[in-house]
Amino acid sequence: MKNIFIVCGSTRKNSTNHRYIELVKSLLGKGFGYVELDSLMNIPHFNPDDDDENVADAVKDFRNNLQEANGIIISTPEYAMGIPGSLKNAIDWTVSSSSFSKKPVLLITASSQGFKAHQALIDVLTVIEADTDGTRILIPFAKTKIDNENNITDKTTQEELAKAVQIFQSKL
Ligand SMILES: Cc1cc2nc3c(=O)[nH]c(=O)nc-3n(C[C@H](O)[C@H](O)[C@H](O)COP(=O)(O)O)c2cc1C
């Protein structure tokens, strides 16, 4: 059984990104154990002064889940032309722990536009040595491309996502 840890960059109840995550899970099929971060909102504000042996339990759990995972799925919107603050905040806690190092990451930026957040995340994940090679996909107009049953209604997106998922799976 391969372990996959999931981080949704949106904390919204009816998140489109969450629908894309559910779709990816169905594309991956059986043989995977999933742990999803309950909410980015439980991770405290990053402060290097607090990054010691007494670090908050939510941060410890986050790092452990990353370290135990064979692969990680991040699906996120863009906010104000950048990475949502809560997602960037969580990632900042992993710089010292190297929790992303060498881990395959399926990076989905599903947003209205999303280019800047997507590029910024590629830069961030690259510097912390995550492997996003062939497994990053930008989905602009994301809300219009997935229906209520989590089916993608846009052929190009469907093909691109299927390819990225296939490459991700091959690395696990
Ligand atoms: C405060 C705020 C700022 C946003 N800024 C951007 C932006 O700069 N670029 C963009 O593509 N979408 C932006 N959006 C739109 C969201 O990214 C878009 O609605 C996305 O699909 C939301 O994802 P979710 O359904 O998973 O929450 C913004 C939304 C909010 C609430």
Hey, whose CA ends up nearest to atom 24 of ligand 1? 15
Helices 155-171 and 16-28 pack at an angle, to 10 degrees, of 60
Tokens of 169: 């799976």
* HEC readout, 95-162: CCCCCCCCCEEEEEEECCCCHHHHHHHHHHHHHCCCECCCCEEEECCHHHHECCCCCECCHHHHHHHH
Give me ligand 1 centre to Cα 142, in Å: 10
| Residue 134 · residue 167 · CB < 8 Å | yes
Q: What is the pLDDT along the chain (172 residues), one digit of tens a residue?
A: 999 999 999 999 999 999 999 999 999 989 999 999 999 999 999 999 999 999 999 999 999 999 999 999 999 999 999 999 999 999 999 999 999 999 999 999 999 999 999 999 999 999 999 999 999 999 999 999 999 999 999 999 999 999 999 999 999 9
Pocket of ligand 1 contains residue 15 by CB under 6 Å: yes
Hey, whose CA ends up nearest to atom 31 of ligand 1? 79
What is the structure's pLDDT at 13? 94
What is the structure's pLDDT at 29? 86
| Residue 133 · residue 107 · CB < 8 Å | no
- Sort residue 134 into left (φ over 0), alpha (ψ -120 to 50) or beta: left
> Whole-model pTM?
0.98
What is the structure's pLDDT at 22? 97
Give me ligand 1 centre to Cα 154, in Å: 20
Hey, whose CA ends up nearest to atom 18 of ligand 1? 111
What is the structure's pLDDT at 20? 98
Pocket of ligand 1 contains residue 81 by CB under 6 Å: yes
